[in-house]
Structure 1
Amino acid sequence: MSICTISFVNLFFFSFLSFLISIIFIMNDYIIFIEWEVISINSMNIIMVFLLDWMSLIFMSFVLVISSLVIFYSKEYMDSDYKMNRFIMLVLMFVFSMMLLIISPNLISILLGWDGLGLVSYCLVIYFQNVKSYNAGMLTALSNRIGDVALLLAIAWMLNYGSWNYIFYLAMMQENMEMMIIGGLVVLAAMTKSAQIPFSSWLPAAMAAPTPVSALVHSSTLVTAGVYLLIRFNILLSNSLLGNLLLLLSGLTMFMAGLGANYEFDLKKIIALSTLSQLGLMMSILSMGYYKLAFFHLLTHALFKALLFMCAGAIIHNMNNSQDIRLMGSLSMMMPLTFSCFNVANLALCGMPFLAGFYSKDMILEMVSLSYINLFSFFLYFFSTGLTVCYSFRLIYYTATGDSNFSSLNMLNDEGWIMLKSMLGLLILSIFGGSMLNWLIFLNPLVVILPLSLKLLTLFVCIIGGLTGYIISNISFFFMNKTFNIFNLSYFLGFMWFMPYISTYGVINYSLISGKMLIKSFDQGWSEYFGSQQLYVFLIKNSQLNQMLQNNNLKIYLMSFIFWILILYFYMIYL
């Protein structure tokens, strides 16, 4: 048996076991808190703490089932790779880091998982080892380091409280101003990991990784780590300045990603921007205090987003590694099974009734309509939902209709059976997962009573968005592309509001150059000259003098004798 098959079987088994235990925990309202004393030397104890509740167990089961299917999918997708085992080991390390983060109620062990995710994601993004991959990996790593530093500062600040188990201090966090500083640092860390404005540019750049990695990263692991951490710290966000700030930034992220995806032609980047949009949705509903809804959408989104990336990978594989949607066409005829899965995932993303995404998205938008919220945030929620449907229908239009525009003659077929089996497994979850989770998480059915106009607003926005996406694609595809008439605006909106420029040429480039100057002028400059180098010269001269004195030379003894006689003489005179 290959390492892929062994990993798939084990991860799938543990996922099923974790899911069954989570159901028991939900029904009986259990929480298990485990303290494991790793080592004890004299008075020093190193203790690992694990928190097992329904939330951590159900999230673990979802991460494990998606990662097992992704590894099984990789068996065929990465078949031509010489270092297949290394790739699988990296993915397993990635999953292990996420597990550590999920079950930790302690900031130190969270940092281990958090940094593990950052390091392994860097290794996976640069996996194909070309200049573009290296640049993308550097942008990903450096953007995430900001969050790592914020988490380190939060750990340092928590020294005031005698323990790093933040779970004990959540209740007092709102009253205490000092604890709000820790909360602010945790929110900053979560914003970098979940790519909220102004840290959004690394997420589309991370598409340089292999497609199975993208399916794992963008569904349930790296980008969801920030959202999950804030779900644990949710008390800090309700009715606070932090919550209001996060609501604004995440709403803008959702809006910006939705606009950007409508101008994009790279298949993987469109799906990456849709992830960014959904992360904005999770963060914004979380900042309003509905942490269960955010968690619900986190799980349903993981299912259809992994499926979407897997279908995209199968299409790219068949298209001889071409990712441009303008070169695709009539895929529904040539790859019917793959395209059916792709369509289901796309419709689930739009919030098509009774698919996985519908239950969470519809409930989120109804709760927004019910809440006391300003008009600007209300607009961002609903307009961004319309944009999601718009770019989804645009994607379907470009890939399904017309003739294939690919320049070379190549076969398009559904013969990748291993990839198809993985996709069909996720297809079933994408159809039934939302309904199942709805019954599990919300034990009492939520009924939101709204006026008819607000109740139908979500459906209306989705229909208008879908029609707009179809009409604009049709016009730009068959007639003159109207975006060239407003090129500067199109470039601004399609290039994520120039955030990649600001991140790379601005922040990262400037910080690296200024860091180099500081090292040259301080660490290797003045402080080196007056510090260690000066001390070195002083010690060398004194040791040389000492060596000379110890050579037993008669001249030296005579000279030193005369020197001491003179000193004694002057001392006696002046005394």
Structure 2
Amino acid sequence: MVWRIYMHLTSAVFLSLGSFICGLSAFIMLFFQISYLIEWEFFFFNSSSLVMSLIFDWMSMIFSSFVLLISSMVLFYSGGYMEGDKSLNRFMYLVLAFVMSMMLVIMSPNLISILLGWDGLGLVSYALVIYYQNEKSANSGMLTVLSNRVGDVALLFSIALMMSLGGWNFIIYCGGMDDSFTLLLKGLVVMAAMTKSAQIPFSAWLPAAMAAPTPVSALVHSSTLVTAGVYLLIRFSPALSGSFVSSFLLIISCLTMFMAGLGANFEYDLKKIIALSTLSQLGVMMSILALGMPDLAFFHLLTHALFKALLFLCAGVIIHNVKDYQDIRHMGGLVKSMPLTAMCMTLSNLALCGMPFMAGFYSKDMILEMAFMSDVNKMAFLLYGLATGLTVCYTFRLIFYSMTGESNIGSLSAVSDSSSIMTSPMMVLSLGAVMGGSALSWLLFPESYMICLSPWLKSLTLMVSLAGGLIGYTLNIMNMNYSLKSLLSVSSVYFMGSMWFMPYLSSAMVSDFSLSIGKKIEQSLDKGWLEHLGGQGAYFMGSQSSGYVEISQSKALKTCLKTVVVWAIILLFMVI
């Protein structure tokens, strides 16, 4: 027990110290406008240098600071959440390996060196998703790792294509990628980012990854794995501006945030609701990236990391207290018995909705106003408005079911805020959810954006949010979900609530398509033709040939040949 407390305390202290150092370095670099690029050259190949690169600028340092801060809070929280686990040390080491992989992704401006962290994230996330070692975790882990392998293959192809540019430092070459040849390269990089950040059609793995322990979900879905694709595109953004790829990315990301918001309104699993919320916010980041504003995407990336980590930690405390149920229908009335957790969860929910002067307001409101001011088509404009309303709708639905509604908690549940190990990190992140947005806006945007909108467009975000909150709360007070199911057809409700059948399509592609084709290839090639033409066939032919050679070199064959020759000569003389 002493070792376990020492483990989570030591990790939290060292990561917090690293977060402070990175944050201080970011302030200095931003103030003096300096950055450092470190390269180690391994070898020179075909006029291209294979180098390991690390970049230290204000963007990488401030993101590293946020990742280390959230990781330290999550590891400290894990000391209480995972207290009875027999493999706690293994869990801690896996989380630390996960953080190290993310740091490699953040610090690498080179496609080859970024691959180390990129694959490290995929491998360690698989190990964490299957941590509980049951069938559901195994299926979720397989879906996660196979979906992400598509992006890994796209990244490998982009490495092969980028060799023609003379190097793999995309920070240097991004500005010159404006011809048709690099369109394929940009498309591959965008595909890699889409798989990591779970955009359509790769969205199914993100809610499935909720099979991991809740502290892992807090880390993965706030600042690490799912944001790696967004961060890669932020670094790659000079190459994307004005290309066909950015238009494609805009419509896909808008559809993703609408689909996730719609699905969260029909979901009853607490962790999956928050996961779909993450998916919706990733769509917001990707869409503003496609519109050519990477600084706003980075701003929302940072603020979202603060309140989403807090939301997951609050969800973990609630699940821990209500006998490990995740169904929100088995909760309710928690504001009376868990006031501290209820306060923190309400703060994070309001920040997610874009409540004025909370962390999410500064980034989300600016993103929506810049999108409304830019030259977007009517489809994207409509999806932006609907997704914003749906976000507030499912948030107030969640507040009703878990916090303020009628209590449905089992009689044996010990519901309280007694664990200080779990509530202390929540208090720290609550400060970030309240003050993080304003502090970052003053730091990153000393000169404010000039936004010129008509009065109805300016007030559209607020009106849509108020309408969404009102609908979400009143419909659930009136218990309208079952009425909606009876009014609408069951198939349409099922379609909207199941992420447009994407989990089933992804599972079918993985199991019925990929694995069945793999089985047929194994039977026809590995266990079929290659048995005759491959290694086994070569061994058989070699054995047979060596037997013939051995016979040809033996004395018996020579004696036989001599006898045949003698008899042939005798027969010849007799004939003559």
Provide TM-score, normalisation by structure 1.
0.94
Counterpart of 1:485 in structure 2 is 487
Counterpart of 1:99 in structure 2 is 103
Residue 108 of structure 1 and its aligned partner are, at CA, apart by 1.1
Query: Quick check: 2:34–2:57 contact (8 Å CA) kept in 1?
Result: yes
Query: Quick check: 1:237–1:288 contact (8 Å CA) kept in 2?
Result: no
Residue 538 of structure 1 and its aligned partner are, at CA, apart by 1.7
Secondary structure of 1:345's aligned partner: helix
Residue 480 of structure 1 and its aligned partner are, at CA, apart by 5.3
Alignment of 1:496 with 2:488, yes or no, is no
Counterpart of 2:452 in structure 1 is 449
Alignment counterpart, residue 303 of structure 1, candidates 303, 306, 314: 306
1:398-438 Cα shifts (integer Å, max 9, x gaps): 11223311233322111010111000000001111001110
Alignment of 1:318 with 2:321, yes or no, is yes
Counterpart of 1:571 in structure 2 is none
Q: Point out where structure 2 has 5 or more consecutive residues left out of the alignment.
A: 569-576
Alignment of 1:180 with 2:203, yes or no, is no
1:458-516 Cα shifts (integer Å, max 9, x gaps): 11111011001011111226x95332332211111001000001000235431110121
Alignment of 1:189 with 2:192, yes or no, is yes
Counterpart of 2:66 in structure 1 is 62
1:354-374 Cα shifts (integer Å, max 9, x gaps): 000000000001101110111
Q: Residue type matched to 2:483 in 1?
A: N
Flag the 1:2–1:37 CA change in 2: closer, same or farther, 3 A: farther
Flag the 1:161–1:37 CA change in 2: closer, same or farther, 3 A: closer
Query: Quick check: 1:362–1:458 contact (8 Å CA) kept in 2?
Result: yes
Q: Residue type matched to 1:529 in 2?
A: H
Residue 342 of structure 1 and its aligned partner are, at CA, apart by 0.2
Query: Quick check: 1:100–1:110 contact (8 Å CA) kept in 2?
Result: yes
Alignment of 1:125 with 2:129, yes or no, is yes
Counterpart of 1:411 in structure 2 is 414
Counterpart of 2:383 in structure 1 is 380
Counterpart of 1:573 in structure 2 is none
Query: Quick check: 2:49–2:167 contact (8 Å CA) kept in 1?
Result: no
Worse-matched range after superposition: 43-52 or 367-376: 43-52
Alignment counterpart, residue 432 of structure 1, candidates 435, 440, 443: 435
Alignment counterpart, residue 401 of structure 1, candidates 388, 399, 404: 404
Residue 217 of structure 1 and its aligned partner are, at CA, apart by 0.3
1:323-360 Cα shifts (integer Å, max 9, x gaps): 11111111111100011000000000000000000000
- 1:111-510 equivalence runs, <5 A: 111-174=115-178, 176-476=179-479, 481-486=483-488, 487-510=490-513
- Which whole-Å CA distance do the structure 2 matches of 1:38 and 1:6 have between them? 35
Secondary structure of 2:405's aligned partner: coil
1:358-396 Cα shifts (integer Å, max 9, x gaps): 000000011011101111100111110000000001111
Counterpart of 1:570 in structure 2 is none
Counterpart of 1:558 in structure 2 is 559
Query: Quick check: 1:126–1:208 contact (8 Å CA) kept in 2?
Result: yes
1:115-149 Cα shifts (integer Å, max 9, x gaps): 10000000000000100000000000110010011
Query: Quick check: 2:333–2:403 contact (8 Å CA) kept in 1?
Result: yes
Query: Quick check: 2:393–2:473 contact (8 Å CA) kept in 1?
Result: yes
Counterpart of 1:26 in structure 2 is 30
- Which whole-Å CA distance do the structure 1 matches of 2:204 and 2:101 have between them? 23
Identity %: 56
Residue 524 of structure 1 and its aligned partner are, at CA, apart by 2.9
RMSD value, Cα = 2.1
Secondary structure of 1:239's aligned partner: coil
Alignment counterpart, residue 534 of structure 1, candidates 537, 546, 570: 537
- Which whole-Å CA distance do the structure 2 matches of 1:507 and 1:391 have between them? 30
Query: Quick check: 2:48–2:166 contact (8 Å CA) kept in 1?
Result: no
Query: Quick check: 2:12–2:73 contact (8 Å CA) kept in 1?
Result: yes
Residue 562 of structure 1 and its aligned partner are, at CA, apart by 6.9
Query: Quick check: 1:180–1:236 contact (8 Å CA) kept in 2?
Result: no
Residue 563 of structure 1 and its aligned partner are, at CA, apart by 7.8
- Which whole-Å CA distance do the structure 2 matches of 1:439 and 1:517 have between them? 59
Residue 38 of structure 1 and its aligned partner are, at CA, apart by 6.4
Flag the 1:565–1:185 CA change in 2: closer, same or farther, 3 A: farther
Query: Quick check: 2:111–2:170 contact (8 Å CA) kept in 1?
Result: yes
Q: Point out where structure 1 has 5 or more consecutive residues left out of the alignment.
A: 568-575
Q: Residue type matched to 1:177 in 2?
A: S
Query: Quick check: 1:300–1:430 contact (8 Å CA) kept in 2?
Result: yes
Query: Quick check: 2:50–2:167 contact (8 Å CA) kept in 1?
Result: no
Residue 530 of structure 1 and its aligned partner are, at CA, apart by 2.6
Q: Residue type matched to 1:556 in 2?
A: L
Query: Quick check: 1:475–1:481 contact (8 Å CA) kept in 2?
Result: no
- Which whole-Å CA distance do the structure 2 matches of 1:308 and 1:294 have between them? 20
Alignment counterpart, residue 17 of structure 2, candidates 9, 13, 20: 13
Query: Quick check: 1:31–1:54 contact (8 Å CA) kept in 2?
Result: yes
1:35-84 Cα shifts (integer Å, max 9, x gaps): 1356999x998642111111111110000000000000000000000111
1:189-233 Cα shifts (integer Å, max 9, x gaps): 100010000000000000000000000000000000000001111
Q: Residue type matched to 2:98 in 1?
A: F
Q: Residue type matched to 1:558 in 2?
A: T
Residue 169 of structure 1 and its aligned partner are, at CA, apart by 1.2
- Which whole-Å CA distance do the structure 1 matches of 2:450 and 2:315 have between them? 36
Alignment of 1:516 with 2:519, yes or no, is yes
- Which whole-Å CA distance do the structure 1 matches of 2:140 and 2:337 have between them? 33
Secondary structure of 1:233's aligned partner: helix
Query: Quick check: 1:355–1:430 contact (8 Å CA) kept in 2?
Result: yes
Alignment of 1:36 with 2:37, yes or no, is no
- Which whole-Å CA distance do the structure 2 matches of 1:480 and 1:491 have between them? 13
Query: Quick check: 2:197–2:228 contact (8 Å CA) kept in 1?
Result: yes
Secondary structure of 2:55's aligned partner: strand
Counterpart of 2:572 in structure 1 is none
Residue 257 of structure 1 and its aligned partner are, at CA, apart by 0.3
Residue 533 of structure 1 and its aligned partner are, at CA, apart by 3.1
